Structure 1
Amino acid sequence: MKKTSLLILFLAAIQFCFAQNPLVTHMFTADPTARVFDGKLYVYPSSDTYPPAGREKEFPRFCMPGYHAFSLENGSTWKDHGWILKENDVPWGDKDTYAMWAPDCIKKGDTYYYYYPAKPKDGTSFRRIGVGTSKNPTGPFKWEKSYIKGISGIDPGLFVDDNDKGYLYFGGGKELFVAPLKDNMKEISAEPIKVEGLPAGYKEGSFAFKKDGIYYFTFAHVFPDEGYTIGYATAKNPLGPFTYQGKIMDNIGNGTNHHSIVKYNDQWILFYHWWDISGYNKLRSMRADYITFKKDGTIKKVTPTIRGIGIPKIGDTIQIDRYNEISKANIAFVGGENEPNGWMVCDTKMMGFVKFNKVDFGNGEATKIEARVASGQRTGSFEIRLGNPKGKLIATFPIEYTGGWSSWKTIEADITEKVTGIKNIVVVFKSDWGSEKAVNLNWLKLK
């Protein structure tokens, strides 16, 4: 019975992870470090939670108990691999401080190295940085008994160059630092140096990568008149000096932002966080959007989207409310029992539509479409079309009374003809002219 219950909880965790923004809705995640290992995309975020009852005044900023890891499965589903490390399991760390800020994980040879900051029980620094090793990208990791000597600070960001030389970037405040690592990736091989060439102001969230022979150093940067932004600088050497190039992303909602950049399936992606689900900037949710490099190597500024990344395939949940275009309809936070945190398409009027780009129909194996709906009336239908609101009709759903506008039901319709490849889909709503809403739509799924 116990094993069955654990399996159900595990499957539920997988089901409630979506690759449209925000990426994960069943828990709060922040500071996402994305990595591609052996062609597979992983994300290593920190996690936010509510302060323990009675200790609220101790956490005016963040309450962060430890780390999960996620991997992208199929085309659009994030798998939660559970706890990587909890605060009270840090060998050298203080207990019950909820102080586990941004981590990183990197591979060298056949070993995965996971780095994290924590509050040391010896009181020698605000944060120290520890490391663990594993032969698997999601662990279990064997944690070093002591923190890395010679460095202190937050937000470890790792980089391994083409010659297998490793570097550790870290720090938070007016200065950021970099230290070369020994071959064992657990010790520094020289004293840390200041990362030169960055603008003045508070900085954190170091993340470095290399593209076309150029070293990019990216970081969170606070402008006094704007708040947290994501900036970057470039150099010809991983130790610098760097030349500041500008912002990758403007401030979002007067809160923090912390990021990573990775190339996956020939597309560059910016991972970052916002607070879509909680509405509170201390309970954050990781997101991702595509990033573009100009011919001269500079980065085109990224505007956050709700569509995000990922191409849903057969069996993936299509969060249709993470739209590319919408007309005569709205979105709102989903309501009703047994529904995961997220949004729905609502207030759907006659000939209203919502468009969602890039759905992978594969070789035409899909024969049905599921829809999660709620309705307080029985009149009308909604259609699935390709390309635009007048495009090829491939499925039609009748609108039926489900018990109310917050009473959800999963229904199914046949795909009327074979569809192959990646297509943009459009849901068109039909009801009586003058009606204020026809149906609430949570998600679609190809079968």
Structure 2
Amino acid sequence: MLPLTAAFATNPLIMDQFTADPTARVFEGKVYVYPSHDIKAPPEYKGKPNWFVMEDYHVFSSENLTDWQDHGAIVSQTAVEWANPSAYAMWAPECVFKDGKYYFYFPAIAKSGGFKIGVAVGDKPYGPFKPMATPIAGVDGIDPSVLIDKDGSAYLYYSLNKIFVARLKPNMMEIEGEPKVIDNLPTQGLLEGPFAFERNGIYYLTYPHVENKTERLEYATSSSPLGPFKQAGVILDEAQSGCWTVHHSIVDYLGQSYLFYHDKDLSPAFDKNRAIRADKLFFKADGTIRKVVPTLRGVGLVNASREIQIDRYSATSGAGVAVSFLDESNPHAGWKTSFSDAKSWVRFNEVDFGRGTQATVEVRAKALAGGQLEIRANKQDGPVIGRVEVAPGADWTTASAVAKNIPTGVHDLFVMQVGAAPIDVDWVRFR
């Protein structure tokens, strides 16, 4: 069995590598995410400096949106007969299931030049996938998205400065006729990354668009997969981090809709090394989409007995709380929370205590002058679950205390600094 990735039910979803452009699908009762894979430029890379460098695709799956399994590389640039094996341009992908097969769509720079879209076929959502010998004829562009309609018809959407749509033949590897430009979309600013789906008879075309300086997510709606589409609103505002791109998908799983997207959490200074995220998405009664508010907390439920990464907080007191990397030279190691003021606090939502049998609370922390942390349930002045003394010292240590008032089921946590002595916290857990 493949190991689980370094993930903590929070954003970003994947910690041990850079990921971007996530297409999420539900296959075989699980959520499968097909992202692109940013890497640092290797010595043999000869492309544009400080640009996107991508050589292959991984696929990740989860049943609980907390634990993500990396199924490894499923397609690489050197395994695609028609693709330039040294272009490092395996950009945003897609995967759909039809007639017993999984079809994985991906863009790459062809040996003959320019971006083409290829197809790889597999019997399982995690592969193995076999790339076809040639790209889809008549399609020049990037960012494939495929909508399979209720009648079984399939439509390919993609972008190249504009957004195009073409009906796919039943073999899912050729188009019928010529691609059509989708009109009535923004005409100024970069437009790319379409993701299309149908819900309650409404066809949604969602896409990144640069209205100002960086991309935000917008959408348009229609009564037909071919349009005409009408602009309907913004799904996600420009990233506060300043990440230039955003690319996404929307999926329903166990009665909840989710937006998968990316930001630059693991590489704040370089937005070509990105990290995928997920947050809940909601539709209004009339079918319009409520704007998504991005979170660090993410969507996965956290078991109380596992390391609770409070730096991926739901809220903080503001003053007296700061988050930074544990190791600036290795962002993949995660973050720490620094408390510097008395009564400063962090709230972390949705911790599952199960039957409430935990007897001990543990905190990985360090405090030069020593200090005390208080953990409460549900609200700032809620029941005290534990008070942990952190011994003086410059090194990380695991401090523990007897837990009390342990609740059952799912509850929010408040972690609060008791005194004024600064304390750094890596994680909290209950045993």
Is TM (by shorter chain) over 0.5?
yes
| 2:15 matches 1:31 | no
CA deviation after TM superposition for structure 1 residue 321, in Å: 0.9
Query: Could you tell me which amino acid in structure 2 is paired with residue 384 of structure 1?
Result: I
Asked if 1:330 corresponds to 2:318, the answer is no
Aligned residue type for 1:270: L
Partner of 1:231: 218
**Structure 1 residue 104, shift from structure 2 partner:** 0.8
Q: 2:151 & 2:357 partners in 1: Cα distance?
A: 45
Matched, 1:119 2:117: no
Q: CA deviation digits over 1:242-301, x for unaligned, max 9?
A: 111122122221611111111122221111111122111111111122222222211122
User: Does the CA-based 8 Å contact 1:31-1:46 persist in structure 2?
Assistant: yes
For 1:443, give the aligned amino acid: W
Letter in 2 for 1:381: Q
The answer to whether the Cα contact below 8 Å between 2:202 and 2:222 also exists between their aligned partners in 1 is yes
The 1:180–1:367 alpha-carbon spacing in structure 2 relative to 1, beyond 3 Å, is farther
Alpha-carbon deviation of 1:197? 2.3
Paired position in structure 1 for 2:31: 41
* Matched residue, 1:395: 386
Q: Match of 2:127?
A: 139
How do 1:46-445 and structure 2 match up within 5 A?
A: 46-53=36-43, 55=45, 58-74=48-64, 76-123=66-113, 126-173=114-161, 175-201=162-188, 202-223=190-211, 225-252=212-239, 253=242, 255-279=244-268, 280-314=270-304, 316-327=306-317, 328-335=320-327, 340-378=332-370, 380-401=371-392, 403-404=393-394, 407-431=395-419, 434-435=420-421, 437=422, 439-445=423-429
> Which deviates the most, 97-106 or 333-342?
333-342
Distance 2:399 2:98 in 1: 48
Q: Which amino acid aligns with 1:273?
A: H
Once the two structures are superposed, what CA deviation does each residue of 1:377-431 show, in whole Å capped at 9, x if it has no partner?
33x3222211112211223322124x51xx3344555543452221111112223
Cα 1:338/1:218, change in 2 over 3 Å: closer
**What letter is aligned with 1:227?**
T
1:116 offset after TM fit, Å? 0.5
* SS in structure 2 at match of 1:189: strand
For residues 10 and 214 of structure 2, what CA distance do their matches in structure 1 show? 26
Counterpart-to-counterpart distance in 1, 2:69 and 2:115 = 30
| 1:283-342 alpha-carbon deviations (Å, 9 max, x no partner) | 111112222222221112223222222221355542211112212322222238998432
What is the identity, as a one-letter code, of the residue corresponding to 1:400?
A: A
Q: Distance in 1 between matches of 2:11 and 2:214?
A: 22
Within 2, Cα distance between the matches of 1:257 and 1:339? Answer: 20
Name the CA distance, whole Å, in 1 between partners of 2:92 and 2:5.
25
Instruction: Say if 1:17 and 1:79, in contact at 8 Å, map to a contact too.
Output: no
Distance 1:55 1:119, change over 3 A: closer
Secondary structure at 1:34's aligned position in 2? strand
| Structure 1 residues 426 and 118, CA gap change in structure 2 (3 angstroms) | same
Query: CA 1:200–1:111 in 2, change beyond 3 Å: closer, same or farther?
Result: same
Report Cα offsets for 1:153-201 as digits up to 9, x if no partner.
Answer: 100011112222211111220x211111222222223332122221213
- RMSD across aligned positions (CA): 2.4
* Counterpart for residue 3 of structure 1: none
1:29 CA drift (Å)? 0.9
Aligned counterparts of 1:47 and 1:370: Cα–Cα separation in 2:
35
Q: Distance in 2 between matches of 1:157 and 1:394?
A: 48
Cα deviations across residues 206-251 of structure 1 (Å, max 9, x unaligned)? 101111111100011122x333221110011111111111221222
On the 8 A contact 1:75/1:316 being kept in 2, the answer is no
Q: Which amino acid letter does the alignment assign opposite residue 356 of structure 2?
A: G
Q: What is the number of residues matched between the two proteins?
A: 425
For structure 2, the 5+ residue unaligned runs are none
Q: 1:373 is aligned with what amino acid? A: A
The question of whether the paired residues in 1 share the 8 Å contact of 2:361 and 2:428 is answered with: yes
SS at match of 1:190: strand
Partners of 2:366 and 2:390 within 8 A in 1 = no
Structure 2: distance between partners of 1:362 and 1:292: 28
- Residue 363 of structure 1, CA deviation: 3.4
Residues 340 and 411 of structure 1, relative CA distance in 2, 3 Å threshold: farther
Aligned residue for 2:19, secondary structure, equals: strand
Indicate conservation of the 8 Å contact 2:266/2:332, yes or no: no
Contact preservation (8 Å) 2:267, 2:331 = no
* SS in structure 2 at match of 1:88: helix
SS of the aligned residue for 1:263 comes to strand
**Percent of aligned positions with the same letter in both sequences?**
41
Task: Give unmatched runs, 5+ long, in structure 1.
Answer: 1-6
Distance (whole Å) between structure 1 residues aligned to residue 99 and residue 64 of structure 2: 26
The more displaced of 204-213 and 260-269 is 260-269
Give the TM-score of the pair, scaled to structure 2.
0.91
Deviation at 1:102, TM superposition (A): 0.3
Cα-to-partner distance string for 1:37-94 (whole Å, 9 max, x where unaligned): 2331121110112212375763342111111111225452322222122211112211
